[in-house]
């Protein structure tokens, strides 16, 4: 039997139900984290609120931490693909600028997730550790921009740290200052300015490498 491209692209009923269950678990868990605190919420309570068996949670998530940060694996995979598959001549900052619009707009879940993390010192440390993996991707990419100088060189690490800090600051600023314009649109405008600044610094470094 021939399988059409449409049937390959569209997930089946079983997969859609699994995705719905995963999203329901993540959503109710975030509600509980916000209401009663991350540390005071148990997996049993999450299962009860999501109307699933406790063992079902482990079919989708390894831990409470994985539930809270459930969007990050996709974000990491998307960033990794963008940086490693960029066309010749496309710089890291240019690739990042193209990647940003593909992100989902900030929504209620993103805001509440940030509030849950901000309320816990332990979660803030976890969040920074998870950001380090993304920063490493950017470091590797910038090192290639500078002629494969190696990730141990201080220059790509400094630029990558600046990029990560800029993205985090813009995200937090947009979350905390709602206005008439869509937050995602305002965030992109600010990021454009930051990326232009970083692009100038990276271009200067590349010229010095060639000199």
CATH number for the domain running over 8-66? 1.10.10.60
Question: Residue 53 is encoded by which pair of tokens?
Answer: 């068996």
As a dihedral over the C-alpha atoms of residue 164, residue 167, residue 169, residue 174, rounded to 10 degrees, the angle is: -160
pLDDT for the residue numbered 172: 62
- Give me the residue label for tokens 């490693």: 84
Element (H, E) at 121: helix 121-145
Q: pTM for the whole thing?
A: 0.71
Q: How far apart are CA 208 and CA 211, in angstroms?
A: 5
- Residue 115 and residue 109 in contact, taking contact as beta carbons nearer than 8 Å: no
For the residues of 31-67, what is the DSSP string, one character each? HHHHHH-STT--HHHHHHHHTS-HHHHTTT-SSHHHH
pLDDT for the residue numbered 122: 92
Profile the chain (211 residues) by mean pLDDT over runs of 10 residues.
Answer: 44 85 94 94 96 94 94 87 89 82 63 87 89 88 82 82 74 54 60 70 67 57
Report how far apart, in Å, the C-alpha atoms of 127 and of each of 71, 74, 191 are: 12, 15, 21
pLDDT for the residue numbered 183: 54
CATH number for the domain running over 71-210? 1.10.357.10
Q: How far apart are CA 198 and CA 56, in angstroms?
A: 45
Q: What would you measure as the largest C-alpha separation in the chain, in angstroms?
A: 64
Query: What are the extents of the domains in the chain?
Result: 8-66, 71-210
């Amino acid at each position: 039997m021939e399988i059409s491209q449409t049937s390959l692209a569209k997930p089946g009923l079983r997969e859609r139900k699994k995705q719905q269950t995963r999203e329901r678990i993540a959503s109710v868990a975030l509600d509980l984290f916000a209401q009663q605190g991350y540390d005071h919420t148990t997996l049993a309570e999450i299962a009860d609120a999501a109307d699933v068996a406790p063992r079902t949670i482990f079919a989708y998530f390894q831990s409470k931490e994985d539930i809270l940060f459930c969007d990050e694996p996709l974000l990491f995979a998307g960033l990794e693909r963008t940086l490693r598959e960029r066309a010749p001549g496309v710089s890291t900052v240019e690739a990042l600028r193209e990647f940003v619009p593909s992100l989902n707009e900030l929504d209620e879940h993103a805001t509440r997730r940030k509030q849950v993390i901000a309320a816990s010192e332990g979660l803030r440390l976890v969040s920074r550790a998870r950001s380090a993996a993304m920063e490493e991707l950017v470091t590797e990419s910038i090192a290639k921009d500078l002629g494969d100088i190696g990730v141990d060189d201080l220059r790509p690490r400094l630029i990558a740290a600046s990029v990560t800090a800029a993205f985090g600051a813009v995200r937090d600023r947009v979350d905390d200052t709602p206005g008439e314009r869509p937050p995602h649109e305002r965030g992109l405008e600010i990021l454009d300015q930051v990326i232009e600044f970083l692009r100038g610094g990276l271009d200067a470094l590349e010229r010095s490498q060639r000199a």
